[in-house]
């Protein structure tokens, strides 16, 4: 496919706006392609760029075309040469990918997705006929191979969030200054529910489902969250107490999604001893990816129960520990794939719980060694991501 004009890619991504990691998928993908394939034109077809996300993306990529209306999609189907499905927990854009295949017959590929336990026949066929498939951890790659997906290029390809570089230094610096947090003298901590809270059936649930804002409260999910939140956050509190008592570091308790501000106050801030709490800051409002990343890169590292904030950190050479549990799925295993297996903890395993706090403390007490380790992991992730772009380049015959 030798083109006489700039190749055009239709990027499907930006799944929703309530999680800074899902926002970062798209920014990372665009940055990755712009860096290594500057001759390519990208058209973004987002699912959700509300809540200031569209404006933030356009500040970073002012020449980016974002389409949302049906006539724009139809034009993009005619004009674009390749459909790229962005990073996601699963093949979120399967319907749109199938539509592209049926209506255009033009090539498509997938960057950095996860895969569930089982693959339906129609999805297996769709994946098999892709030009390439990159899975964000090797567990998903193995699942695809075991279930008969036969795409010619199937490899581990890290989540595109590793390449996120958007910044809001002014807002981040103002917040840090107002709360006495010095560059390199604090760690970030992120709480998390087992299950994302669904809409209010009472006063406790303050956020809506990203997929169905009118859905009723899921009683079983609510029950599971209540059952496990003390277990899950006790080790975070212990880590914070030890950091404050044994080092000169402070701690910022901050969110990755919009359910985590009140959770952080309830399960961390309000349960800390008074003499510790004075050195712990609570981020009580939600933020977008640019302010969050500007904050992370000024920290000494990050720990907690989330995945994409750690990815954003490692992508910028900042140490980050991942705490996971079964409800999160398998995305945490990418830490093993980039050489950070000893910074990955399953908090349902007593032996991992025992080692979690000492590992956080090691980062706080030996920041130079931690930074070196983070930088090496970043380098490995970059190598894998370069392979992803190289595969795309070959398919575009650039």
Tell me the C-alpha distance between 143 and 329, whole Å. Answer: 13
Contacts of 208 (CB under 8 A, 6+ apart): 198, 199
249-to-55, 177, 186, 256, 336 alpha-carbon distances in Å:
35, 15, 5, 21, 28
Query: Do the beta carbons of residue 63 and residue 378 sit within 8 Å?
Result: no
pLDDT digits (tens, 9 = 90+) for 116-144: 888 999 999 999 999 999 999 999 999 99
Domains 8-164+380-396 and 169-379 equal at CATH topology level: yes
| Model pLDDT, residue 215 | 57
204-208 contacts: CB < 8 A, separation 24 or more? 206/259, 206/262, 207/18, 207/258, 207/259
H or E stretch including 82? strand 82-85
Q: What share of the chain is helix, strand, coil (3-state, %, to 5)?
A: 50, 15, 35
Residues 6+ apart with CB under 8 A from 86: 11, 12, 13, 14, 25, 26, 29, 93, 111, 112, 160
Distance between CA atoms of residues 97 and 43, nearest Å: 15
Handedness of CA 300, 235, 304, 181 (dihedral sign): negative
pLDDT at 201: 38
Length in residues, the chain? 398
The pLDDT of residue 203: 32
Which residue, among 67, 112, 87, 114, has the nearest Cα to 23 in the 3D structure? Answer: 87
Q: How many CB atoms lie within 10 A of CB 163?
A: 29
For the domain 169-379, what is the CATH superfamily, name and number?
Glycogen Phosphorylase B; (3.40.50.2000)
C-alpha span between 123 and 94 (Å, rounded):
8
pLDDT in the model for residue 219: 82
CA atoms 358, 362, 363, 365: torsion sign: positive
**According to CATH, what is the number of the domain 8-164+380-396?**
3.40.50.2000
| DSSP 8-state assignment for residue 366 | -
Q: For residue 303, what is the enclosing H or E element?
A: strand 302-304
Which tokens go with 10?
A: 């239709």
In 3D, which of 278, 279, 282, 247 has the Cα closest to residue 266? 282
Q: Is 0.75 topped by the overall pTM?
A: yes
Low-confidence ranges of the chain (pLDDT < 70): 1-4, 198-217
Angle at 348 between CA 259 and CA 380, to 5 degrees: 80
Query: pLDDT per residue over 271-318, tens digit each?
Result: 999 999 999 999 999 999 999 999 999 999 999 999 999 999 999 999
d(CA 305, CA 239): 13
Q: What is the pLDDT of residue 213?
A: 52
Map out the domains of the chain as residue ranges: 8-164+380-396, 169-379
Per-residue model confidence (pLDDT) at position 198 = 53
Structure tokens at 76: 């993009």
């Amino acid at each position: 496919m030798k083109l006489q004009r700039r190749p055009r890619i239709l990027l499907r991504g930006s799944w929703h706006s309530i999680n800074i990691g899902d926002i970062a998928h798209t920014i990372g993908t665009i940055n990755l392609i712009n860096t290594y394939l500057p001759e390519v034109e990208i058209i973004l077809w987002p699912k959700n760029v509300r809540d200031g996300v569209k404006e933030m993306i356009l500040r970073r990529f002012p020449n980016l075309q974002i389409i949302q209306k049906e006539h724009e999609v139809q034009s993009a189907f005619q004009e674009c040469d390749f459909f790229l499905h962005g990073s996601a927990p699963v093949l979120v854009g399967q319907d749109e990918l199938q539509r592209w295949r049926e209506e255009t017959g033009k090539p498509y590929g997938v960057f950095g997705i996860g895969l569930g336990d089982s693959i339906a026949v129609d999805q297996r066929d769709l994946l098999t006929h892709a030009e390439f498939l990159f899975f964000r951890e090797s567990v998903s790659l193995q699942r695809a191979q075991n279930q008969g997906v036969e795409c010619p290029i199937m490899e581990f390809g890290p989540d595109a969030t590793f390449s996120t570089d958007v910044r809001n230094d002014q807002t981040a610096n103002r917040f840090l200054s107002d709360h006495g947090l010095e560059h390199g003298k604090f760690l970030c901590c992120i709480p998390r529910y087992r299950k994302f809270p669904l809409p209010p059936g009472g006063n406790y649930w303050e956020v809506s489902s990203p997929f169905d804002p009118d859905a009723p409260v899921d009683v079983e999910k609510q029950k599971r969250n209540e059952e496990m939140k003390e277990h899950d956050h006790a080790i975070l509190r212990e880590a914070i107490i030890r950091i404050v008592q044994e080092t000169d570091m402070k701690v910022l308790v901050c969110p990755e999604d919009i359910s985590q501000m009140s959770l952080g106050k309830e399960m961390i801030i309000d349960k800390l001893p008074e003499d510790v709490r004075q050195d712990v800051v609570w981020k009580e409002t939600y933020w977008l990816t640019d302010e969050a990343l500007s904050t992370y890169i000024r920290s000494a590292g990050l720990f907690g129960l989330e995945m994409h904030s750690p990815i954003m950190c490692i992508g910028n050479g900042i140490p980050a520990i991942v705490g996971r549990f079964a409800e999160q799925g398998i995305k945490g295993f990418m830490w093993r794939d980039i050489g950070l297996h000893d910074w990955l903890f399953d908090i349902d395993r007593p032996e991992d719980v025992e080692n979690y706090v000492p590992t956080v403390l090691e980062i706080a007490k030996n920041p130079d060694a931690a930074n070196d380790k983070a930088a090496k992991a970043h380098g490995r992730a970059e190598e894998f991501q370069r392979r992803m772009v190289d595969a795309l380049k070959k398919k575009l015959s650039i």
